[in-house]
A = this chain, B = another copy of it.
Amino acid sequence: MTPEVAYQELERRFRRIGNVDGAAAVLQWDWATMMPEGGANARSNQLAELSLIRHELITDPRLDELIAKAETDGKALSDWQRANVREMRHRQRHANGVPPDLVEALSKAGAKCEMVWREARPKGDFKAFAESYKPLLTLVREKAAAKGAALGLAPYDAMIDAFDPGYTMAEIDRIFGALEKFLPDILARVMARQDQRPAPLPLKGRFPIEAQRGLGVKMMERLGFEFAHGRLDVSLHPFCGGVPDDVRITTRYDETDFAGALMGVLHETGHALYERGLPEAWRTQPVGDARGMSVHESQSLLVEMQACRSLEFLNFAAPLIREAFQGHAPVEGEAFEPANLYAHAIRVHPGYIRVDADEVTYPFHVMIRYGLEKRMIDGTLAVDDLPEAWNQGMKHYLGIVPPSPREGCLQDIHWTGGDLGYFPSYTLGALTAAQLFDAAKRSDADLVPAIARGDFRPLLAWLRGHVHSVGSLYDSRELVSRATGKPLDPLIFKAHLERRYLG
């Protein structure tokens, strides 16, 4: 068999896997948005079945032979095809790296731990949680070791690699180390300055859900979201799901606060534009997929944090906000002027909860988790010592200590499912967003003025060309270098914060 023939067979096999993944994505979306509660058991059986089918397809020993064949003669394939084979190998190694018994044990222990966590979190009952988290963490460490051995990586690097190929502890240490040098000082200066200024005027009103939804849809259309290829719905936890030709985002509404849902819609629209813009010729192939978690998060944060939490955007948005809530809020007053909306959008407040954090304090939440994850994986932090270590981190970085594990180490779902290695992506994404937006602005002087006119086409065109359309052709680090001309540089994020919060 020639490498070309092997390659064609590989494309066929991964098309099957891609279609199964797409089916699962729609079923997951339905679960979160449409499914009646009584459907949960049947649905979880359907999803487990698709997951098993996927696993069978990707661990088929014949796949290993085909990839090996396609790898033998690089010249027979195009750049995209070679990258596709590389991504196939990457997925195949991750799938085969964990023994089937361990996969099953992890799945059971994760499901159990998540159930316990849902009970324990509201009560702040760390002891109850710890009892089911200890056996899970043991299995996670086994998994990290097994994957590391299979991939030739350190255990925690193997975990990171599943979410964000290209990043390692060494690289993240370098980046977070740089953040650690300037971020505490920036936070102190921002707080001092903010304290000297009057608080923004409150945005009072009763904001009807239908009006909020209408405003969100209008913004999505402006940003370039195609409703012929997607939907906006409601779920408890906002997310972006579906497939590139049918991207489904969700938000949640609070009638006393329109900004949360609006910013959420902008954030998920960033994710959606990325999915929609992935290379059409490579649908269902690994190289055609989104690059990884940090690049994905960079796209949502670029839209939400970089482009839309700006005075330019709010100059454009304020009249639409006033129009949407006319009759329901005192929209003619000063509170709904762009300057006051902007003051709200960039309010900094060190708090306990990561998902509520502003962009200045958010990296501290991630750095705390990252430090703890490293130690949990290498065995130097025992589960019982987690709350104390957590609180020390909060005290150190943010000067506050959560009153209970509920607002502390029990707040996130990630660890309860065994997902260690994911958290760094959030901050890598924030830094990547700053660097990409910086490069986009430099390449097109009209990009920000266009946003102030509600015209996102220049921004979208740049993102399509430099990020979306390259899919997984490069790893995350190379993608950033190629798009911006240099490796990920935390000082660009620093400059962004200084300009916005101290300028």
Contact = CB atoms under 8 A, between A and B. Distances in A.
A39 B284 contact: no
A46 B26 contact: yes
Contact of A42 (B30, B34, B48, B283): B283
Contacts of A27: 23, 26-27
Given A19-B46, A45-B22, A49-B20, A36 B284 contact: no
Interface size, A (range): 35 or more
Interface string A225-262: 01111110000000000111110000000000000000
A16 interface: yes
Nearest to A19: B49
A231 B45 contact: no
A20 to B, nearest CB: 6
Which of A36, A41, A42 has the most chain B CB within a 10 Å cutoff? A42
B231 A37 contact: no
B36 A227 contact: yes
A38 interface: yes
Interface string A1-33: 000000000000001100110110011001000
Nearest to A43: B246
B42 A245 contact: yes
A379 B318 CA distance: 71
B243 A39 contact: yes
A53 interface: yes
10 contacts: A16-B49, A20-B46, A23-B46, A26-B27, A26-B30, A26-B46, A34-B34, A35-B246, A36-B229, A39-B229
* 8 shortest interchain CB distances as A-B pairs: A39-B246, A19-B49, A38-B229, A38-B228, A23-B46, A42-B245, A22-B46, A19-B46
Given A20-B49, A42-B243, 9 more contacts: A15-B45, A20-B50, A23-B46, A26-B43, A26-B46, A35-B246, A38-B226, A38-B246, A42-B244
